[in-house]
Amino acid sequence: MNQQLTNSLLLGLAAAVILISTPQAQASEAIVKKARCVACHAVDAKRVGPAYKEVAAKYKGDAKAPAMLFDKVRHGGSGNWGQVPMIPHPADKISDEDLKAAIHWVLSLE
């Protein structure tokens, strides 16, 4: 295969990946905004709680992180990021499906 064809195929594949992943990323970001998580968290800056990117870095490669974070968000808690407690977020505030999507999005940040 010649170099120009290879480059064209790679560019096309990259564009397809972007098109496929972007709506999900936007949807997950919309979920955290709708659930008002952004009142205490931002993508790359500490607010009341840690930045989402800090959370992603702390739990990178930890297979248990999604379930642990689900429980932490659902039930609240303190001590992992300082003394300010995270309030519970019951299912009437954010559904299980949306919470799982939001956590997946947070953990995918770099």
Residue 2 pLDDT: 62
Residue 18 reports pLDDT greater than 60: no
- Is the pLDDT confidence value at 21 over 80? no
Domain 3-108 class in CATH: mainly alpha
Three-class HEC string of 38-97: HHCCCCCCCCCCCCHHHHHHHCCCCCCHHHHHHHHHHHCECCCCCCCCECCCCCCCCCHH
Residue 104 has pLDDT above 90, yes or no: yes
Q: Looking at residue 59, what is its pLDDT?
A: 97
Q: What is the pTM of this model?
A: 0.74
Q: Which of 40-44, 55-59, 79-83 has the lowest mean pLDDT?
A: 79-83
